[in-house]
Amino acid sequence: MKLFRRARRVPDYDARSSDAELLSAIGAGAADALEILHRRHAPWLGARLRYRCADPDVVDAALQDAFLSIWRNARTFTPRTADGDAAAWIWTIAIRQLVSALRRRGNKWIGDAALESYEPVGDASAEDLVLVGIEHGPLGAALNNLSPELRLAIQATILDGLTVREAAQLLGVPEGTVKTRVMRAKARLREQLT
């Protein structure tokens, strides 16, 4: 029986560290790194989540759950590019937590064709229903069939409503690359959905 766990070395980090470096430190158990990451990302995540859901309590719960999930899963983050990857990874967690929070809120749909009819029982907004429909309907399946690069570009620009410049910054690629990926993603989605 081991009495002591082997201590993991926490990577060096500070407020100027990249998101990937902070996630690495969080994965090693550095709560201070999570605080830095939270200060850096919570404002824009909250704004984007409020754009999707008018209930501030649901948004707050989703944001809190997102950072709890980041704390628990930071070790699983593997950077492929500079920092755009980390912000996209964080956003994915946050939006999924919002969808989960909306489900927990008690919105129910009638019948087996729930996602096709979008008939809410309760106080679901149209945006809430579309968000759930996108994730679980035919569009969600088509999005999941896209390559990660194309999916991230279409999610950032179309689903998240970012400008091309914002998406390029988030994804860590040039603006022209974002435009090309969105164009290719739209063409592939048209093929899959027709």
pLDDT tens digit sequence for 124-151:
555 555 555 565 567 777 888 888 889 8
* Residue 10, pLDDT score: 65
Burial class (CB in 10 A: 0-12, 13-18, 19+), 4: exposed
- Secondary structure letter of residue 121 according to DSSP: E
- Domain count of the fold of the chain: 2
Q: Do 161 and 87 have their domain in common?
A: no
pTM over 0.85: no
Q: Do 22 and 98 have their domain in common?
A: yes
In a domain, 9, yes or no: no
For the chain, give percent helix, strand, coil, nearest 5: 70, 0, 30
Residue 43: CATH number of its domain: 1.10.1740.10
> The domain containing residue 56 runs over which residues?
17-107
Q: Do 101 and 28 have their domain in common?
A: yes
